[in-house]
Amino acid sequence: MRTEELLALGMLGRGSRLTERIEMLLDRERVFSPRASMSRMAASAIALLGCVIAGSLAPRLVAFAQARPAFEVASVKSVKPETHAEPDIETSPGGLTMRSNNLVGLVMWAYQIDEANQISGPDWIRTQDFDVTAKAAGPVSTGQLRLMLQTLLEERFKLALHRERKIVPLYSLLVDKNGPKLHEVQQDPQKGVGLAMEEGTITEHMVNHLSELASMLPVFLDGRPVEDKTGLTGIYEITLKVELDADQMKRFPRAGAAFMGFGYISGIFDAVEKLGLKLEATKGPVEFLVIDHVEKPDAN
**Domain spans of the chain, in order of start:** 2-25+36-65, 73-293
pLDDT at 258: 43
Which neighbouring-strand residues pair with 205? 194, 239
Chain mean pLDDT for the chain: 80
pLDDT at 31: 52
**pLDDT grade for 288, boundaries at 50, 70 and 90:** very high
**pLDDT grade for 17, boundaries at 50, 70 and 90:** low
Q: What is the pLDDT of residues 22-50, one digit of tens each?
A: 555 555 555 545 455 566 666 666 766 66
Spatial separation of the C-alpha atoms in residues 108 and 114, rounded to whole Å: 7
Q: Which of 37-46, 125-134, 138-147, 283-292 has the lowest mean pLDDT?
A: 37-46
**pLDDT grade for 192, boundaries at 50, 70 and 90:** low
pLDDT at 89: 87
241 versus 23: which is more confidently predicted? 241
Closest by CA position to 225, among listed 155, 185, 283? 283
Spatial separation of the C-alpha atoms in residues 238 and 252, rounded to whole Å: 23
* Alpha helices for the chain (secondary structure H): 2-12, 17-27, 34-65, 103-111, 124-127, 142-156, 210-216, 246-251, 267-273
Q: How many other β-carbons are positioned within 10 Å of the β-carbon of residue 126?
A: 14
Q: What is the mean pLDDT of residues 148-165?
A: 96
Spatial separation of the C-alpha atoms in residues 148 and 165, rounded to whole Å: 24
Q: What is the mean pLDDT of residues 87-113?
A: 91
Spatial separation of the C-alpha atoms in residues 151 and 121, rounded to whole Å: 19
pLDDT at 201: 86
Spatial separation of the C-alpha atoms in residues 9 and 292, rounded to whole Å: 82
Amino acid at 262: F
Q: What is the mean pLDDT of residues 272-282?
A: 97
